[in-house]
Amino acid sequence: MSKYCIANWKMYMSKKNIDSYFENFLSKDLNNNCNIVICPSSIHLDYVNKLSESNKSISLGSQNVSEYENGAYTGENSLQMIKESNCDFAIIGHSERRQIFHESDIDVNNKLKVLNNSNVTPIICIGETLEERESGITREVLKNQFKRIFNDINFNLSKEFIIAYEPIWAIGTGKSADTETIYSIHKFLKNIINEINLNNCNICLLYGGSVNEENASEILAVDEVDGFLIGSASIDADVFYNIYNKF
Ligand code: 13P
């Protein structure tokens, strides 16, 4: 199973930050067996591509993709556009897109259909809110998200799918889920994968939510964790590298 250390830079970085990041990051040994994917904001994709293209260990991902092919969709980026910027990956269904920009599971399903027919690997985010967790309905919520997102997809079996379990209460809070929770939820997700006949596809299960240098080794040691989707700890080159080095 492939291993992934994915940086979701969200809306944090300036070009100046990116310059110093790569000056530092590219001087390091990036040759372990884990794939590095950097997801900058879309306006910086070409810029990051130019800086990173000399290093084959680094791939580029978009933080989103439009469900539409082209047309009058102000502010959106199409599959074609992200491919032109050399993206091999695209995050879809991030909880910030869902909560702040009101994306639904149906939107995520449409985006997955677009990516399923392409050579861009989807990084599909799912996760429950604190309220849902406290009401004891985490599994039900995740199962419903899964079913809606994967509804009516004609799976491309040669394709890799990345699913990131990102409990919303753990994102940006400094409080990651504990290893028992991560293990049992990832096990549960594997069962759903089998139920919906996704088991012939190549699926990687990542964890995201307050991953940092201190907790990375412990979480990586959990069976069923194939890597990380990292927000704030990924915007510092040294910190991101130290996490990558734990793989
Ligand atoms: P943090 O690592 O900042 O908690 O963010 C996680 C995340 O949202 C990655 O997509």
Query: How many of the other CB atoms lie within 10 Å of CB of 166?
Result: 26
Res 220: pLDDT: 97
pLDDT digits (tens, 9 = 90+) for 90-103: 999 999 999 999 99
Compute CA distances 94 → 10, 56, 102, 156, whole Å: 10, 26, 11, 22
Residue 34 main-chain phi, psi, to 5 deg: -110, 140
CA-CA distance, 235 to 39, in Å (whole number)? 11
CA-CA distance, 63 to 54, in Å (whole number)? 22
Tell me, in angstroms, the distance from the centre of ligand 1 to residue 167's CA. Answer: 10
For residue 164, give the ligand 1 atom closest to its CA. 10
Mean pLDDT of the 198-225 span: 92
238: CATH: 3.20.20.70
For residue 172, give the ligand 1 atom closest to its CA. 4
| 94 is annotated as an active-site residue | yes
Tokens 């810029």 label which residue? 47
Tell me, in angstroms, the distance from the centre of ligand 1 to residue 180's CA. Answer: 19
Tell me, in angstroms, the distance from the centre of ligand 1 to residue 172's CA. Answer: 6
Full residue range of the structural domain in which residue 158 is found: 4-244
Closest CA to 206 of 69, 19, 6: 6
For residue 96, give the ligand 1 atom closest to its CA. 8
Q: pTM value?
A: 0.97
pLDDT band at 199 (very low <50, low <70, confident <90, very high): low
Res 159: pLDDT: 84
Cα 131 to chain centroid distance, Å, stands at 23
| 102 is annotated as an active-site residue | no
Residue 200 main-chain phi, psi, to 5 deg: -85, -10
Number of domains in the chain: 1
CB distance 132 to 93 below 8 Å: no
Which value, in Å, is the radius of gyration of the alpha carbons in the chain? 17
pLDDT digits (tens, 9 = 90+) for 141-156: 999 999 999 999 888 7
Mean pLDDT of the 228-236 span: 98
CA-CA distance, 231 to 42, in Å (whole number)? 16
Cα 96 to chain centroid distance, Å, stands at 12
- Please state which of the ranges 69-78, 99-108, 134-143, 193-202 shows the lowest mean pLDDT: 193-202
Sign of CA dihedral 184, 142, 156, 83: negative
Res 200: pLDDT: 72
